């Protein structure tokens, strides 16, 4: 059993007459019209402007601050043969910004003396670096153009300007309170500018500079600007949406040898390339260069016309990306061992973790645990821990950490992400601080993030044509998300794991006229996946729609964005022989019998937990359940109620049902009236009869099970027919009438027979259904 990550919010339903009017005016289907109305496009005019991308979708570049001054200085430098340096950044936006500026100056404007510099994350850090600027001054650079950085480099820019280097800043990051005194600052949000759209990427800003220099928009460079815009998660509305829509067409038909080589290595089908291809295939590969080492070869890959060289460079990118993925996977496994379920904010640190992937790892742990996470890599030599943090809507990292800057060597960030450096001995103090800040922000009481749904679709209505029409609302991304739907009218017929490591999920849904696949690439645990595969019926999900292209066939499919599972994985290991082999898995073992718990304790794996049911009941409750990956029910409860109450206060992913039965009351059945009479006639005549010695003879003589004879003697002992002292029996003379069925011993056996019938001798499907019912209730 596991819950959805989001609260699913149904859309407000617009008036039928408004939908009908816009349907007639635009020719769009009622479903698409409803989605557009929900996004604020509630008139035919607004819808037309949103759906149409042409030259009017782009703004005049000269409305941007200092654009004319920057262009004039660049043109003067080219004419004069000055040495020009382009200073970029090591992420995809910085790489593509550099490539656009470099191509514009060299290939289009004929500049002969142009170089570019991509900072190294590990030696130069982010943004302007004084030592690098000093080298540029010494090397005779006369014009420095920053791309995707610069507005935070007040001191560095002042140094360059003072030493005869003119600096043109092109940037899109948040403007500081005090700007550098550069020769020109080209920024869409500069207060002195009049540019209508403030949310361009760094590559988008440089594309506008190129358009201003060339006096037309260079369509063939929209591909690079699109890579930077999507990779930097810029809002895909207004000019960005138009830019990416055009850029995707360029990317699908690119003549760049470097991109063609990259497509081949990434196994990308250019024909169907879209924004998700950038997000999940191309951007991670290019970003891996800056994370693992130097990103300089990426600019060369994107701008070179040498077919042989780009093949070699693309292979290098693929090798680095494979190393990056392996590093993240390895460190993720190590991080799982360090997680403390009691912490509201994960603070994980390890010597030797790769500094370049700490942000990716923090994001992955955040997704897996739904807790804000900071990952630190400790340098054993310096004693410093460098970290990256990732958070969600429930916790503001910047608000939590900004008042405590004296604790850090370096700190910067915003609500959902941060970078920081701290002395390793201060990590415990930081961990405690974050738990306190989480409590201050009410992290426990903040509701789940919301996922607004576009509509509820009947699975039978999902067609290729519908998905193609929905795609007209794209490209999808920040502030223009792909529509997410709930689904109805289907039968879930199969679930199986897919992927190289069988860590993803594929559901097969029955719809009228055939089937449709629903795929989940969310990080589910092996226990969760196994539970769904064993019994997929309790799955509920939401998702987007996509087309699957396979062997010249196009079929619709659902891409699951969130799911919940009302069932759990239940493993049937019921036994009457409790051997050590059944106690080898790591999990939380629950015993109902204290003596048995002491017996098995030495046999359990070191990482396993053993608890008596009474301990669990004292500590857990329905509001704060005991959350475990695997719950092992070792033995039989004393009553069904006891097990029911336990299942009310635990939240397992898997139940391993051993349910060891020592005395098979149900299987042996209840002795008959004649059996009681025969045994009574025998024992009533005995004095000082050693039961332990003679019990095998009694079993043979009465043709009863050993356990049945012991039960009969216990009933007789309760009513006083016999006395038993240290295994020695003596018959007693009694008078009066006794109803043996009313004895506690007899009633207890009836109860045990009922428990064993329900839990041990029932069909496994019945047991699984019963256990799941208790958990749900």
Q: Which of 59, 58, 47, 61 is nearest to 19 (CA)?
A: 47
User: Alpha helices, DSSP H only, in 126-168?
Assistant: 130-138, 154-162
| Predicted pLDDT of residue 1 | 62
Apex CA 124: angle with CA 119 and CA 128, to 5°?
A: 75
Same fold, 56-320 and 345-440: no
Q: What is the mean pLDDT of residues 355-373?
A: 91
For 609-617, what is the mean pLDDT?
94
The CATH code belonging to domain 666-756 is 1.10.10
**Which residues touch 653 (CB under 8 Å, ≥6 apart)?**
1, 2, 525, 527, 528, 531, 568, 569, 628, 629, 630
What sign does the dihedral 739-742-748-754 (CA atoms) show?
positive
Q: Which of 708, 717, 599, 718 is nearest to 664 (CA)?
A: 708
535/566 Cα distance (integer angstroms)? 10
- Reference 732, options 674, 692, 695, 685; nearest CA is 685
Q: Is 149 helix (H, G, I), strand (E, B) or coil?
A: coil
User: How many whole angstroms separate alpha carbon 419 and alpha carbon 428?
Assistant: 18
Q: Does the 345-440 domain belong in CATH 3.20.20.10?
A: no
Instruction: Give the chain's count of helices (H) and strands (E).
Output: 29, 27
Round to whole Å and give the CA distance between 663 and 654: 27
pLDDT tens, residue by residue, 94-106: 999 999 999 999 9
3-state secondary structure 529-583: HHHHHHCCCCEEEEEEEEEEEECCEEEEEEEEEEEEECCCEEEECCCCCCCHHHH
Angle between helices 202-214 and 222-231 (to 10 degrees): 160
CATH 3.90.1640.30 fits 56-320, yes or no: yes
249's CB contacts (< 8 A; 6+ apart) are none
Enumerate residues 6+ apart whose C-beta is below 8 A from 177: none
CATH tag, 569-661+760-776: 3.40.50.300
Find the helix packing angle between 44-51 and 16-26, rounded to 10°: 50
Kind of pairing, strands 373-379 and 84-87? unpaired
Alpha-carbon distances of 370 from 202, 394, 418, 527, rounded to whole Å: 31, 9, 17, 18
Nearest Cα residue to 251 out of 272, 281, 231: 272
Condensed to tens digits (0 to 9), the pLDDT of residues 379-418 reads 999 999 999 999 987 889 989 998 998 999 988 777 888 8
Taking 90 as the threshold, does the pLDDT of residue 565 lie above it?
no
d(CA 357, CA 350): 13
pLDDT tens for 73-130 read 999 999 999 999 999 999 999 999 999 999 999 999 999 999 999 999 889 888 899 9
Bridge partners of residue 687, in order along the sequence: none
pLDDT at 777: 67
Domain ranges in the chain are 7-49+451-565, 56-320, 345-440, 569-661+760-776, 666-756
The band of 550, judged by pLDDT with boundaries at 50, 70 and 90, is: confident
* Structure confidence by residue, pLDDT tens digits, 126-171: 889 999 999 999 999 999 999 999 998 999 999 999 999 999 999 9
Assess if CATH 2.40.50.460 describes domain 7-49+451-565: yes
């Amino acid at each position: 059993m596991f819950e959805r990550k989001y609260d699913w919010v149904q859309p407000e339903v617009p008036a039928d007459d408004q939908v009908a009017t816009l349907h007639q005016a635009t020719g769009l289907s009622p479903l698409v019209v409803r989605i557009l109305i929900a996004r604020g496009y509630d008139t035919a005019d607004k819808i037309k402007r949103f759906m149409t991308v042409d030259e009017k979708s782009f703004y005049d570049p000269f409305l941007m601050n200092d654009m004319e001054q920057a262009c004039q200085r660049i043109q003067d430098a080219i004419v004069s043969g000055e040495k020009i340096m382009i200073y970029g950044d090591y992420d995809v936006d910085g790489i593509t910004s550099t490539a656009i500026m470099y191509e514009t100056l060299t290939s289009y404007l004929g500049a002969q003396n142009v170089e570019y510099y991509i900072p190294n994350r590990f030696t130069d850090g982010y943004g302007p670096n004084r030592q690098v600027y000093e080298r540029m001054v010494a090397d005779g650079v006369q014009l420095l153009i920053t791309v995707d950085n610069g507005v935070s480099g007040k001191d560095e820019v002042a140094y360059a300007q003072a030493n005869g280097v003119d600096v043109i800043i092109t940037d899109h990051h948040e403007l500081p309170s005090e700007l550098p005194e550069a020769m020109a600052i080209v920024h869409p949000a500069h207060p002195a500018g009049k540019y209508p759209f403030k949310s361009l990427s760094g590559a988008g800003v440089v594309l506008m500079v190129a358009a201003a220099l060339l006096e037309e928009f260079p369509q063939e460079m929209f591909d690079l600007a699109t890579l930077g815009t999507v990779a930097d998660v810029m809002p895909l509305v207004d000019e960005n949406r138009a830019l990416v829509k055009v850029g995707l067409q360029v990317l699908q038909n690119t003549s760049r040898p470097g991109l063609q080589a990259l497509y081949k290595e990434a196994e990308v089908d250019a024909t169907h390339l879209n924004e998700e291809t950038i997000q999940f295939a191309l951007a991670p590969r290019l970003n891996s260069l800056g994370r693992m080492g130097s990103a300089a070869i990426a600019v060369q890959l994107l701008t070179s016309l040498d077919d042989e060289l780009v093949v070699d460079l693309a292979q290098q990118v693929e090798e680095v990306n494979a190393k990056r993925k392996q590093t993240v996977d390895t460190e993720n496994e190590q991080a799982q061992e360090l997680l403390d379920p009691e912490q509201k904010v994960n603070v994980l640190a390890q010597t030797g973790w790769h500094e370049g992937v700490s942000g990716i790892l923090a994001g992955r742990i955040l997704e897996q645990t739904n807790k804000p996470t900071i990952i630190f890599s400790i340098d054993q030599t310096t004693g410093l821990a460098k970290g990256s943090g990732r958070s969600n809507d429930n916790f503001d990292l910047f608000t939590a950490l900004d008042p405590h800057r004296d604790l850090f060597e370096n700190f910067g960030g915003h609500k959902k992400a941060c970078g920081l450096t701290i002395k390793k001995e201060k990590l415990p103090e930081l961990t405690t601080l974050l738990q306190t800040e989480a409590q201050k922000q009410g992290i426990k009481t903040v509701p789940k993030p919301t996922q607004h749904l576009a509509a509820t679709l009947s699975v039978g209505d999902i067609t290729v044509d519908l998905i193609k029409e929905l795609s007209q609302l794209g490209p999808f991304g920040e502030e223009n998300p792909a529509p997410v739907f709930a689904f109805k009218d289907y039968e879930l017929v199969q679930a199986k794991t897919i992927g190289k490591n069988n860590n993803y999920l594929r559901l097969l849904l029955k719809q009228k006229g055939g089937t449709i696949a629903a795929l989940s690439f969310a990080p589910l645990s092996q226990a969760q996946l196994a539970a769904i595969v064993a019994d997929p019926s309790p799955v509920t999900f939401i998702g987007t729609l996509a087309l699957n292209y396979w062997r010249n066939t196009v079929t619709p499919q659902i891409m699951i964005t969130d799911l919940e599972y009302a069932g759990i994985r239940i493993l049937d290991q019921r036994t009457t022989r409790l051997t050590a082999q059944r106690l080898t898995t790591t999990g939380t073992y629950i015993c109902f019998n204290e003596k048995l718990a002491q017996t098995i304790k030495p046999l359990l794996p070191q990482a396993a937990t053993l608890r008596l049911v009474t301990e669990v009941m004292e500590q857990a409750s329905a509001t704060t359940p005991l959350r475990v990956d695997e719950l092992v029910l070792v033995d039989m409860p004393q009553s069904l109620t006891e097990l029911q109450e336990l299942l009310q206060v635990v939240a397992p992913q898997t139940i391993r049902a051993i349910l060891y039965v020592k005395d098979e009351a149900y299987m042996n059945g209840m002795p008959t009236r004649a059996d009681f009479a025969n045994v009574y006639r025998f024992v009533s005549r005995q004095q000082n009869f050693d039961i332990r010695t003679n019990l095998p003879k009694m079993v043979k003589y009465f043709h009863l099970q050993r356990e049945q004879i012991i039960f009969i003697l216990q009933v007789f002992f309760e009513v006083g027919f016999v006395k038993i002292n240290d295994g020695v029996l003596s018959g007693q003379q009694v008078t009066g009438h006794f109803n043996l069925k009313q004895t506690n011993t007899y009633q207890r056996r009836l109860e045990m027979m009922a428990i064993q019938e329900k839990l041990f001798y029932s069909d496994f499907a019945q047991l699984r259904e019963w256990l799941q019912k208790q958990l749900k209730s």
